[in-house]
């Protein structure tokens, strides 16, 4: 195991559950320490911290509402303290903008409040949290933004959500261009339908929906969190240092 001065550190938003949790744990298995955020359940976040320790790495959980940009300055201060507590220098290496909320409603019925919520969490939050953290990320670092297969596969009732994720995909390419002089690679990962508690656990807990997803997927099943976390951890590593400005769909071949 490397010394603290050489260890990599990731910030993973929404790291207490689902894909974020799986990403943190897979980074830990690669010797990467994490600062993970949670919005409501500190208990779940601390469970992840304990599992990271079991894997031989370190993690610190910080509360953050990614839909409230007013909280980003205090969060940056908390990150600075967390970096010190992790025995690091003053910077980190990887940022995974994972935190998100689901939304299912038609274009006709979507309200302004619903659209504002999606914008604040999925686009404005990603934009300004990344902006605030840029002074703390090492040159040569990596950023991964989370999108969705719903930017490619059109499912009625997902217009607002899919459109916000589409905006994140465009933003990712701009980030890659503007941060290129700092050698920071920026990519977007677009999961397909995954069996987590996202959207109320609908893919995981609804057998009919799970079967429909399996039938439209080339590899014949719905996705699992462990299909995504290892991929993100690999994308952040030096093995993929020349991958930049890409949308990588991780869906088992949905609707191809």
CA 185 to chain CA mean position, Å = 15
First-residue to last-residue Cα distance in the chain: 42
CA distances from 21 to 29, 153, 183, 208, 256 (A): 13, 25, 27, 26, 29
Between helix 42-54 and helix 18-29 the angle, nearest 10°, is 20
Task: Report the C-alpha gap between 161 and 164 in whole angstroms.
Answer: 5
Q: Is 140 helix (H, G, I), strand (E, B) or coil?
A: strand
Whether the CA torsion 154, 232, 119, 121 is positive or negative: it is positive
- Among residues 38, 94, 119, 161, which one is catalytic? 161
Task: Report the C-alpha gap between 42 and 38 in whole angstroms.
Answer: 7
Structure tokens given for 5: 């001065």
Task: Report the C-alpha gap between 256 and 247 in whole angstroms.
Answer: 16
Q: Residues 125, 99: contact at Cβ < 8 Å?
A: yes
Indicate if 161 belongs to the active site: yes
> In sequence order, what are the residues at sequence separation of 6 or more whose Cβ sits closer than 8 angstroms to the Cβ of residue 249?
149, 152, 190, 191, 192
- Positions annotated as catalytic residues are 161
């Amino acid at each position: 195991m490397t010394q603290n001065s050489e260890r990599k550190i990731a910030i993973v938003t929404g790291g207490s559950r689902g894909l974020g949790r799986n990403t943190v744990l897979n980074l830990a298995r690669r010797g990467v320490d994490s600062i993970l955020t949670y919005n409501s359940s500190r208990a779940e976040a601390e469970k992840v911290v304990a599992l990271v320790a079991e894997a031989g790495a370190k993690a610190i959980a910080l509360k953050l509402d990614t839909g409230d940009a007013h909280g980003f300055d205090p969060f940056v201060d908390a990150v600075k303290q967390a970096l010190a507590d992790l025995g690091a220098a003053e910077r980190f290496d990887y940022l995974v903008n994972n935190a998100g909320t689901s939304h299912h409603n038609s274009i006709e019925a979507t309200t302004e409040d619903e659209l504002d919520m999606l914008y604040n969490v999925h686009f404005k939050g990603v934009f300004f949290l990344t902006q605030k953290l840029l002074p703390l990320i090492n040159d040569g670092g990596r950023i991964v933004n989370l999108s969705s297969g719903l930017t490619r596969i059109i499912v009625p009732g997902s217009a607002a959500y899919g459109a916000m994720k589409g905006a994140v995909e465009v933003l990712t390419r701009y980030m890659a261009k503007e941060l290129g002089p700092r050698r920071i690679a920026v990519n977007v990962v677009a999961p397909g339908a995954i069996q987590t508690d996202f959207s109320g656990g609908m893919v995981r807990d609804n057998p009919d929906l799970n079967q429909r997803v399996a039938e439209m997927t080339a590899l014949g099943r719905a996705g699992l969190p462990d299909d995504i976390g290892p991929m993100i951890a690999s994308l952040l590593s030096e093995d993929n240092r020349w991958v930049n400005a890409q949308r990588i769909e991780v869906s088992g071949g949905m609707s191809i």
